[in-house]
Structure 1
Amino acid sequence: MARDGAADRLILVGAVTAPHGVQGAVKVKSFTADPEALAVLPLHDQEGRRVRLKVLSARGDVLIARIAGTSDRNAAERLRGTRLFVPREALDEPDEDEFYHADLIGLRAERADGSLVGTVAAMHDFGAGDLVEVKTEAGKAVLLPFDRDTVPVVDVAGGRLVVDPPHGLIDGEDGAPEEGAPDGEDGEDGTER
């Protein structure tokens, strides 16, 4: 599956979360590895308008910034919820074995034999490492660790991931828990479920 239009897509890189102070500054949550990079990226809002950001300070992934044309708290309040995007072509190409989450969403997820498991619906990081969310053909959302064991091949240009999910996780596999089985019943091997 070719990724048509991948080069001209807008990638979400941050969002204005709240005003800060009374002189028009805002808090910006960055979704980038280097939050202060937002100051030099060609940012646009969700309507496609150019946004010029001057970073005043940073703490973790939250920036205190001034947005051009915003000089008081009321104007800053109106920016709450503004999503900040950058054109995909403005981003550096990732290093080998590094990927932009946005480039993975929509890829086919298939087994090594080429059989379709589903489509990458989202990427998540809840603090213990990246997870890839695959929506199966049956419509079930399955979270898989995004590591070399579970996702041994990432072929963005080819529009696919090869996945090796833990046995029983995907519907239709032998050993999958039966629907409606009450919790706490003994399994076939005598262990508690």
Structure 2
Amino acid sequence: MTDPLVCIAALKGAHGVKGEARVLSFTENPESCFAYRPWRDAAGKPLLTPKRWRPGKNEFIVTFEETFQREALDAMKGTLLYVPRSALPEPEEDEFYHADLIGLSVLDTNGTPMGRIVAVPDFGAGALIEIDGPDGVFFHPFTRDAVPEIDLDAGRCVIRVQDAEE
């Protein structure tokens, strides 16, 4: 298996005229995104290397080792920033990186294939797994009760599907 990329931040655009940019961190401790460098684009190509940063309003103001004009940073607005999964610490027990879950095959508790995990969104009421199944895409709660088994080595997870009458 190749080393998947994990999205840890997004470029929000230029800040001022001195080559700084606004960056939104997605890491649990927002400042920890700076421990992983260089940041890569979605294809894995090194893109930005943070040099200095300071807190902004719900973001960080960042200076990079690379030199950019304001227009170039504004053109990169919305760019997602990644690091290789291998650069990150191992998650605690019962914690998972989204990159580790995406692609897992999904079975119900009876062993019936349900599809594959394609995303792990959280729309504000808790994490879900988005499953691309034989009848189309559907969402399932991502809780211990709803997903009683995850086996990363086997590349699968088991979901508990409730009957409409339960």
Q: TM-score, normalised by structure 1?
A: 0.76
Distance in 2, matches of 1:27 and 1:74, equals 13
- 1:129 match: 126
Cα distance, 1:21 vs structure 2: 1.8
> Which stretches of structure 1, 4 residues or longer, exceed 4 Å deviation after superposition?
none
Matched, 1:156 2:152: yes
Distance in 2, matches of 1:35 and 1:98, equals 18
- Contact persistence 1:25–1:70 (CA under 8 A): no
- 1:186 match: none
Cα distance, 1:79 vs structure 2: 3.0
Instruction: Tell me which of 70, 82, 86 is aligned to 2:83.
Output: 86
Instruction: Tell me which of 8, 11, 24 is aligned to 1:13.
Output: 8
Distance in 1, matches of 2:76 and 2:64, equals 9
Percent identity of paired positions between Structure 1 and Structure 2? 37
What secondary structure does 1:161 align onto? strand
- Contact persistence 1:70–1:76 (CA under 8 A): no
**5+ unaligned residues in a row in structure 2: which ranges?**
none
Per-residue CA deviation, residues 130-176 of structure 1 (Å, 9 max, x unaligned), is 011111112x21111100111111111111110012324xxxxxx7x
Cα distance, 1:68 vs structure 2: 2.0
- 2:65 match: 68
- 1:185 match: none
- 2:107 match: 110
Whose strand proportion is higher, 1 or 2?
2
Give the superposed CA RMSD.
Answer: 1.9
- Contact persistence 1:24–1:74 (CA under 8 A): no
- Contact persistence 2:119–2:129 (CA under 8 A): yes
Aligned residues: 162
